[in-house]
A and B are shown apart, each in its own frame.
Chain A
Amino acid sequence: MTEQKELNVEDIRKEAEEKHCPAQKALYYVEKFLDTLMCGKCFPCAFGTYEARVRLKNIISAQGTATDSALLRRIARVMTEASRCKRGKDTGRFLLEWIDTNAFKAHSERRCPDQECLAFIEFRIDPDKCIMCGDCQAVCKFNAIVGEKKKPFLSGYLPFEIIQKRCTKCGECVPVCPTHAIAKVELETEKEVPV
């Protein structure tokens, strides 16, 4: 029997707070709770957390709507009032703490102010800065960068570009570029985000 420290709500809360984005915090908490501590006996908590996970996933993957947030608020409120035990009530309270923050609300406007939610950003290569060295292409594990390495004596080349469909936003290419040509861009505002 391996020695495992007994998990409680405080531990899950602490782990969740290590994230920056409130939506990520909430999702982490809910998922951990569902997997471990939830007893599943009373309806508001058992069914409510399952539903909350579905809605939070929607929000984090940039598919969230106002309905999702409204329903989350409703779930959290009822869980706080009606759960059978303190764990369910604490989960409800935790959700309520973060749902009404500006950072969370921004997700419905397709922005993640903490830049932790990958669905809201894109990595792009600035063609003005790119020197066509090909280092980023060599590093990319997913073959998401297309382009031809520039040979000194040839002309006519394929510019370097990141194929967004393939890009998993792992960020490996950014530090490799000698001219810092790869930038993280927020989709909604088209503004560059410091890496």
Chain B
Amino acid sequence: MRLLSYFRGEAFQRGVHPPQCKLTARTKIRRLPFPPRVIVPLSQHIGKPPRPIVRVGEEVVRGQPIAKADDWLSVPHHAPVTGVVEFIGLRPGMRGPWVESIVIRAHPGATQEDLWGQPRDLSNASAQDLLQAIWDTGMVGLGGAAFPTHAKLTVPSQAKVHTLVVNGCECEPYLTCDHRVMVEQADDLVEGIRYAMRATGAQRAIVGIEDNKPDAADAIRAALARRGPLPEGEIHAELVPTKYPQGSEKMLIMALFGVEIPAGGLPVSLGMVVNNVGTLAALGQLLPRGRGLTERVVTITGPGVARPGDYIVPLGTPLRFILDYAGAPEAQAKEVILGGPMMGQAAASLDVPVTKGISGVVVLRGEDIALGADRKIYPCIKCAECVESCPMGLNPSMLGMLAAKREYDLMGEQYHLGECFECGCCSYVCPSNIPLVQQFRVAKQILREKAAAAKSS
């Protein structure tokens, strides 16, 4: 009840409570078999795509680097399977257009053991060496944004980081991969947090977990108790009230510290760095073994899946293979979402591979999306539901009316369109069924193009 929210301590203002649908919160992480063929797109992250360093016909072993980062804001890729490079060229991408990819045919008889990396001791490594080691793993933010982790952990020279915020909120409905990672890989997570604290110089780390998964916090506290005192500093696991979009770093920092990150600023301006639990758990696994990122935990779920669960999926596995294995009859699948249902992207085809930034595959049947899809679109009745749900404090009702009139400049200048991070709360609650977020995405793209044109001329 919103009436009561004024009297109750709330994590952040506004936001929504979509049905959680966490079907797989109690099932253990399982391993998906290796597909006969993997497709590794070169651009899986924010930044420049890396350059392939293998030729067609070359034999690769699992974990071997196959693409090299030329630019600082770029990461290398490693072969997800032992096999032969079959093709380097265009393959279907998750956004629709075909993208440059490396296709590797797996050896049917290979054991698929990760033989490439050398175990190493990083206990005395400097921050610089640690960042280089993190870069070499090809790690990006596994929560969905896919921002290169070494860049995120690099502290600008004028700033000083005192706190590492570890984001274990996982506020999207259906997704449970971060939840299961926290429960089952708590020791790796603590290791990863320690590396990240040393790389950034943070004196404390706080794992923010939504209170719908107290078992994750218990698992982390138990792992911390097993470790005893750490030389890096304090690590706390903290429960925050469940609410969408808590997983946004601005909202999580608001919930933990009660402070707003200034508009246009980054958490580092307040001395904080935010990282996802999946990313740090993977770092904790990979860094001491000297390996690269070749697989990740993906939640395969939705009403259209017979055997939903959290699976360890080799990167580059095509969706068709995953859905066959998890038991999603193709005739039933009406929409396949990469990521969560609030912010995820609908897959354009089932030949699209799993990439580093995909945290979930949600399969919806026709009857599940009928609620939103076949509903009539009414004019805005100014019910103020969107204003009451926008976590950024915008006025989506007004923005939507301006977008319909193509007043994009006005939206950007007076109604703070740039602050919108497309969480989808306004579209979710809109009783008139107006596709507000879609309109804002178009408007933002047009404004970006205008700004780029103005810059170049």
Chains A and B are bound partners: no
Residues of B that sit less than 8 Å from A by CB:
none
Residues of A that sit less than 8 Å from B by CB:
none
